[in-house]
Structure 1
Amino acid sequence: MLDRIAIRALVENWAVWRDAGDWDRFATCWHADGIMMATWCQAPWAEFIAASKAGWAKGVSILHFLGGHSADVAGHRAIGQTKMTISQRAMVHDVEVDAVCTGRFYDFLERREGRWGMVLRQPIYEKDRMDPVDPAARLELDPALLKRFPAGYRHLAYLQTQIGYAVKTDMPGLQGPEVEALYAGARAGWRAGRIAEA
């Protein structure tokens, strides 16, 4: 139970400290070899922080909200799943919009020297939408560009493409081979001490 409490605290600290720009404390959420996978950035944690800082400097606005949580703990390793919503505001075709994506954080966690930390954070993107901040505004999206991205995060990816990011197009969703490969890697690789398969 103490491990589960510590893992939940870690997950909550990640969201609060990242969204507040509390980078020094945010860095403590990771182990030295930790990796962050996101639509717009796939990198070791230190590079993810650097990219996040650069985004902040340009006015990039991304917020995270957390919901239910589950952790499968096996000794000094765990898989954590946390319901989440990512909300990003930006200009798309001269219209200010909010893209909101709901899914799960799927975390590979390890306790080292008494401290739980993240080794890999892989979001699972389940569904999303885009809405003008002004309900009276008219927004027309490019159907061909929208179709390039998986259904679970296509509006978020559309927005991120518009502000200059190269978005990864094969992130896991609610169903499909990508999420099945993630689950298989968790079952086999992580329990065997490997993470490359995940």
Structure 2
Amino acid sequence: MTLDAELNHERDVQTIRQLLENWVVWRDAGDWKRFRTVWHDDGVMMATWFQGVADEFIRVTREGWDKGVSILHFLGGTSVDLAGDRAIAQTKMTISQRALVHDVWVDVVCTGRFYDFLEKRDGRWGMVLRQPIYEKDRMDPVSPSARLELDAATLAQYPEGYRHLAYLQSQIGYQIKKDMPALKGPEVEALYARGARWLAGQPL
């Protein structure tokens, strides 16, 4: 790799890292105008409670924000694989959501990774697809003295990696997608294969 190519590579990686950090800061702060800029026009968001295009994701997220839905994110390390004007980024993250479940205020923390498909178009990097990978989660009462009892049959309906998050979200009215990628299994293997095809230049 020439010096110029190496510098361009590092510049692209840094730009992508900043984009991923901006996604979390602007989304969690309700800075919707700037949040829109991290997406390409055809960008798609996949989540336990929503699957669709970025503009619709922003609309329903804003509606939830206005109703008091509390979902926050925290990022860890990032790994970026570059292939020309395309990239796959994986970022360690936690999703934290607070809500009332069976008349008890609870916090759910879900640990996983954001698996992002990105592309540089007209000189600008943007997100084409964000697919979280859900690895493990837990639910705790906000008050240590509170007593919380979950319905075991309902909890068991959801995959292990995000079953408490899904339980909470179903309690506040969301329809939950039950085949999201986890740490292991056919769903995450299919996602990795899709990422490899993206880097090889194939369409999503």
What TM-score do you get using the length of structure 1 for normalisation? Answer: 0.97
Q: Secondary structure at the match of 2:20?
A: helix
In the other structure, the counterpart of 1:53 is 62
In the other structure, the counterpart of 1:129 is 138
1:107 aligns with 2:116: yes
Q: Report the AA paired with residue 39 of structure 2.
A: W
Matched residues, number: 195
1:82 aligns with 2:91: yes
- Out of 176, 182, 185, the residue aligned to residue 173 of structure 1 is 182
Q: Secondary structure at the match of 1:168?
A: coil
How far did 1:189 drift?
4.2
Q: Secondary structure at the match of 1:8?
A: helix
Instruction: Output one character per residue of 1:162-189: Cα deviation in whole Å (capped at 9) or x when no partner.
Output: 0000010000000001000000111124
2:82 touches 2:199 (CA, 8 Å); kept in 1? Answer: no
Q: Distance in 1 between matches of 2:198 and 2:61?
A: 29
In the other structure, the counterpart of 1:94 is 103
For 1:6-85, what aligned pairs fall within 5 Å after superposition?
A: 6-85=15-94
Moved runs in structure 1, 4+ residues, more than 3 A? none
Coordinate RMSD, CA, aligned: 0.7
2:73 touches 2:95 (CA, 8 Å); kept in 1? Answer: yes
How far did 1:74 drift?
0.6
Q: Report the AA paired with residue 128 of structure 2.
A: V
How far did 1:193 drift?
2.8
In the other structure, the counterpart of 1:186 is 195
Q: Which has the larger radius of gyration?
A: 2
Q: Secondary structure at the match of 2:48?
A: coil
Percent identity over the alignment is 70
Q: Distance in 1 between matches of 2:184 and 2:194?
A: 15
1:151 aligns with 2:164: no
Instruction: Output one character per residue of 1:5-53: Cα deviation in whole Å (capped at 9) or x when no partner.
Output: 0000000000000000000000000001000001000010000000101
Q: Distance in 1 between matches of 2:180 and 2:200?
A: 22
Give 5+ residue unaligned stretches, structure 2.
1-9
Q: Distance in 2 between matches of 1:170 and 1:114?
A: 35
